[in-house]
Every structure is written in structure tokens, then in C-alpha cells.
């Protein structure tokens, strides 16, 4: 049976998986991303992770989902907010040298979008948007079965949609970016500002379910900001489905989908709302590695 290896490279963690052509994860491993040690150390750590999951199996290739902006054809990461020091670093070619595998590089959120399209919630959908909530907010937008890339592979950086023009300073240099308000990182920061405790997503949702006033306020404010951003994307792209994924939606965030859908009523054209579904990913956090692996299968 043919196998591919998918790697989801994040600013905090990296994860690798050995995946078969049916989307079954046969082996996987995870480790901290040594971003402070620089791109070469990160590449070396990734190669070790790949070899761990490959074992004695023969893999067709390696797909990497990385924060952007990047160049697929040059297999290169340009300067990116969540990976300091990666300034035109040819990660794909370096991994080819270290692993001996043919390497395919793409944006991490676009990889997760492919994972949803092939194996997950968006299977069979021609027009959909995926938003992933983690350290930042990533996105993938599919129109008539085609991913939007733009002229330089830089399209779909939805996390840098401006919510508040004079808002919080973002790592990208802009102010008021979406990811400063509705990423998983921002979700936890909002909780700390409300209750003075450093809590994980699961603990915040548990506090909400117990009726904690601060958690209720947080959810209302968070939902409004997420609805504003989602409605903007719906008005532009008119999708049939918006999928919310990432860690925030594997720790109890599912109800946010319904709240956002109810909150976009006055922000979207009625024609775009008709037949629109907003739903959480069904891949339990696996969309990134599955989509990265699918880069290999799609190239075969």
C-alpha cells in the first residue's frame, strides 16, 4: 500500500504522520518547534521527526504544511510572523537533502483545507472556506473546486483581515488583524484579561458551561468578532460551507459555529445565507497532516 508523510509545521509545535491513500494515519509523532534556534535547527528536528514516523516503510514523498507567505515552486518560506528567522529559507529542498524524499511545500492552512476537502467535512463541496484557529488564524478558500492562491501563493491570509483599524499591533506590522482577536492565542488572552488566570481552551469552555459571568462575556465578545470576520468572507466568496478547525474547535468550541451562524444575520446578504452551513471540522485536529500528505498523493 502506498504511503505519504505529512508534516504540519507550527510556530509552537510540529507534527508528522505516516498516511495511507485512504487517509488513515498509521504512525505519528510530535515535538516542540525549535524556532528560537533558527531555521536549520528546525529543519534538522523535522527530519528526525519524519524518520521516526517513516520507520521501515517506503514513502512516496513528504508534504509540508507551513505558515506563509511561501513559494510552492521554490519550496521556500519567506519571512513569516510565527517563524522568526525564516527569511527566504528553502525548507523543502533542505528536507529533500536530509530525508532523501521528494518534498512538496504549501501553506499550512491550505493543507488543512485539502484535508477537509478529501477526507473531512468539506468532501463533495465545490465552494467552501476553512478557518483554522491556533497561534494565529489561517485560511483556505475553494471556489468551484479550485484553491485560491493568487499571483504569488499569498492568497487566503485571512488572519490579517482588519477588524479594528486602530486595534492591537499584529506581528505582521498591521493593527487590528483578525488573529489578534479570534485566534486560540487571543481566546486565552481574553480569558486572562477577564479572570486573571492562564487557562486553556477546555477550561474556558468549562467555566462558560458552569455559568461564570466573565466566561459568558468573553463568549459574547468573541462571537461578535468572529461573526464580523466570517460575514465579510461570506459576502465576498458566497460559500456553501465554512469550516472552523484547529485546537480551539477540538476543546469544546463546537457551539461557536451555531452562535456565529445566528450572529451573521444582519451582516450578510440573505441570498448568501441561504444554504450556508457553518460547522466544526470532523478531523479532530488531523486536517493539517492529512492535507500535507495529500500533496504527495495529488502529485502522483
Give dist(CA 98, CA 51) in Å, integer: 10
CATH of domain 124-280: 3.30.420.40
* pLDDT at 251 (0 to 100): 66
Write down the residue that cell numbers 492562491 correspond to.
149
The grid coordinates listed for 96 are 529533500
Give dist(CA 86, CA 68) in Å, integer: 10
Distance (Å) of CA 170 to CA 74, 98, 177, 189, 259: 27, 34, 6, 14, 26
Per-domain residue ranges of the chain: 3-111+286-299, 124-280
Q: Name, in order, each residue with C-beta under 8 angstroms of 167's C-beta and a sequence gap of 6 or more.
A: 175, 176, 177, 180, 181
The grid coordinates listed for 286 are 488531523
Residue 199 Cα to chain centre, angstroms: 21
Give dist(CA 293, CA 20) in Å, integer: 9
C-beta of residue 32 within 8 angstroms of C-beta of residue 67: no
* pLDDT at 250 (0 to 100): 72
C-beta of residue 8 within 8 angstroms of C-beta of residue 289: yes
Do the domains at 3-111+286-299 and 124-280 have one common CATH topology?
Answer: yes
C-beta of residue 266 within 8 angstroms of C-beta of residue 90: no
* pLDDT at 97 (0 to 100): 96
In the DSSP assignment, the letter for residue 170 is P
C-beta of residue 50 within 8 angstroms of C-beta of residue 56: no
Give dist(CA 92, CA 65) in Å, integer: 10
User: Model's pTM, two decimal places?
Assistant: 0.88
3-state secondary structure of 275: coil
* pLDDT at 300 (0 to 100): 57
C-beta of residue 25 within 8 angstroms of C-beta of residue 16: no
- Per-residue pLDDT tens listing for the chain (300 residues): 789 999 999 888 899 999 998 999 999 999 999 988 999 999 999 999 999 999 888 899 999 999 878 889 999 998 777 788 888 999 999 999 999 999 999 999 999 999 999 888 899 999 999 999 988 898 999 999 999 999 988 889 999 999 999 999 998 889 999 999 999 999 999 999 999 999 998 899 999 999 999 999 999 999 999 999 999 999 999 999 999 998 788 766 778 899 999 999 889 989 999 999 999 998 877 889 999 999 998 865
C-beta of residue 139 within 8 angstroms of C-beta of residue 129: yes
Q: What is the CA radius of gyration of the chain?
A: 19
Q: Name, in order, each residue with C-beta under 8 angstroms of 10's C-beta and a sequence gap of 6 or more.
A: 33, 67, 82, 108, 134, 135
Give dist(CA 130, CA 154) in Å, integer: 16
Topology (CATH level 3) of domain 3-111+286-299 = Nucleotidyltransferase; domain 5 (3.30.420)
Burial zone of 36 (CB within 10 Å; 0-12 exposed, 13-18 middle, 19+ buried): exposed
Amino acid at each position: 500500500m502506498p504511503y505519504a508523510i505529512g508534516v504540519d509545521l507550527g510556530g509552537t509545535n510540529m507534527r508528522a504522520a505516516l498516511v495511507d491513500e485512504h487517509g488513515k494515519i498509521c504512525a505519528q509523532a510530535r515535538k516542540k518547534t525549535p524556532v528560537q534556534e533558527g531555521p536549520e535547527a528546525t529543519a534538522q528536528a523535522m527530519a528526525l521527526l519524519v524518520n521516526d514516523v517513516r520507520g521501515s516503510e517506503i514513502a512516496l514523498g513528504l508534504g509540508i504544511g507551513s505558515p506563509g507567505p511561501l513559494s510552492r515552486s521554490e519550496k521556500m518560506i519567506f519571512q513569516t510572523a510565527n517563524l522568526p528567522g525564516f527569511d527566504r529559507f528553502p525548507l523543502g529542498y533542505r528536507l529533500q537533502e536530509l530525508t532523501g524524499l521528494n518534498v512538496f511545500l504549501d501553506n499550512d492552512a491550505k493543507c488543512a483545507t485539502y484535508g477537509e476537502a478529501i477526507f473531512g467535512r468539506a468532501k463533495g463541496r465545490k465552494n467552501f472556506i476553512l478557518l483554522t484557529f491556533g497561534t494565529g488564524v489561517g485560511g483556505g478558500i475553494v471556489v468551484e473546486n479550485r484553491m485560491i492562491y493568487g499571483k504569488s501563493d499569498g492568497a487566503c491570509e485571512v488572519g490579517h483581515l482588519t477588524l479594528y483599524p486602530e486595534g492591537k499591533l499584529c506581528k505582521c506590522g498591521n493593527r487590528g488583524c483578525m488573529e489578534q482577536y479570534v485566534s486560540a492565542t487571543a481566546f486565552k488572552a481574553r480569558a486572562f484579561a477577564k479572570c486573571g488566570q492562564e487557562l486553556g481552551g477546555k477550561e474556558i469552555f468549562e467555566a462558560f458551561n458552569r455559568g461564570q459571568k466573565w466566561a459568558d462575556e468573553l463568549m459574547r465578545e468573541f462571537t461578535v468578532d468572529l461573526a464580523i470576520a466570517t460575514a465579510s468572507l461570506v459576502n465576498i466568496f458566497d460559500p456553501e460551507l465554512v469550516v472552523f478547525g484547529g485546537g480551539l474547535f477540538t476543546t469544546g468550541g463546537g457551539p461557536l459555529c451555531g452562535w456565529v451562524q445566528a450572529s451573521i444575520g444582519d451582516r450578510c446578504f440573505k441570498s448568501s445565507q441561504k444554504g450556508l452551513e457553518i460547522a466544526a471540522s470532523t478531523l479532530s485536529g488531523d486536517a493539517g497532516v492529512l492535507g500535507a500528505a495529500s500533496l504527495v498523493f495529488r502529485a502522483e
